[in-house]
Amino acid sequence: MNSSNHTSLIKAEAKRLGFDYVGISKADFLEEEAPRLENWLNNNMHGQMSYMQNYFDKRLDPRLLVPGAKSVISLLLNYFPSENQVDDTAPKISKYAYGKDYHIVIKEKLNQLLEFIKENIGEVDGRAFVDSAPVMDKAWAKKGGLGWIGKNSNLINKSSGSFYFIAELILDLDLEYDGAVKDYCGTCTKCIDACPTDAIIAPYVVDGSKCISYFTIELKENIPDDVKGKMENRMFGCDICQDVCPWNRFSKPHQEPLFKANEELLGMKKEDWIELTEETFRRVFKDSAVKRTKFTGLKRNIAFLK
């Protein structure tokens, strides 16, 4: 089989495993992203996310992660829910955390895909990545033609919007590469205008240290007082810049059973969250990404919203 056959085979299997979109790019140095990342770090836009400073070279060159790497396969998995939290006055959780932790769900699919490749193509060396390693997933998805990077710094797919998880397989296998698509943001500034903490400091530039997701998930100390009253009732993550994006009118509910929203979570009233116990936290968020913030972190966030 040649690279064309290999490419078709891999894309078909990825779709069978439930991935919505697959794009492939040449494993090379991310020349365009290098100065941007350096500038972002130098301006401390990563806040206390010190891990963002680690493995600078590996973030920009996948060949340092997988020796002899030739292809980066980028995959998108939709997480847009069919239901939302019932009580409009209850503290809000980002849509991506409604169901089972995406790291677990996607890693399993990636491992299956990698196993399929080895069984059907032969000796292939590769690694699977899902938001837990020094890989610039949005940059690779863009290079693979899966969308463009919007002014809110999220990947936007023209057909389906931006409510997607991004994952990668980096392989030492020659494949056919997809080209990037154009930017369709135009003159729209809805995401910039809607951000309550002014985290989008310029088109395509997000100061991570000002983002509600940073305050509610990454920040381990107290949330700054100057953010009081600006959180728009968000206790874990934030979807505001995505909710207002015109391209998300094309979002359709996901088809992944493991992302199905926890019914207890959706049904909890404002007072239930205020009175949240550690026992309820452990039960509701047993396999959830919300565990990242821990019980004490979530209680801190809820208290800050009062």
Same domain? 9 vs 54: yes
Same domain? 148 vs 14: yes
Same domain? 160 vs 35: yes
Which regions in the chain score pLDDT beneath 70? 1
Can you tell me the distance from the alpha carbon of 265 to that of 262, in angstroms, rounded to the nearest whole number?
A: 5
At residue 132, the pLDDT reads 74
**Residues spanned by the domain of 289:** 190-305
Same domain? 23 vs 134: yes
Same domain? 291 vs 153: no
Number of domains in the chain: 2
> Has residue 179 been placed in a domain?
no
At residue 256, the pLDDT reads 97
Same domain? 149 vs 197: no
Per-residue pLDDT tens for 113-146?
999 999 999 999 999 999 877 889 999 999 999 9
Same domain? 215 vs 163: no
198 in active site = no
Contact 126, 62 (CB under 8 A): no
Of 131, 178, 243, 272, the catalytic one is: 131
Per-residue pLDDT tens for 229-240?
999 999 999 999
Same domain? 107 vs 167: yes
- Of 124, 140, 171, the position where a domain reaches its end is 171
At residue 38, the pLDDT reads 84
At residue 57, the pLDDT reads 85
Nearest alpha carbon to residue 168 among 38, 9, 25, 67:
25
At residue 172, the pLDDT reads 96
Can you tell me the distance from the alpha carbon of 75 to that of 19, in angstroms, rounded to the nearest whole number?
A: 6
Contact 223, 134 (CB under 8 A): no
Angle at 74 between CA 72 and CA 78, to 5 degrees: 170
> Has residue 177 been placed in a domain?
no
Same domain? 162 vs 268: no
pTM of the full structure: 0.94
Can you tell me the distance from the alpha carbon of 60 to that of 306, in angstroms, rounded to the nearest whole number?
A: 42
Same domain? 198 vs 166: no
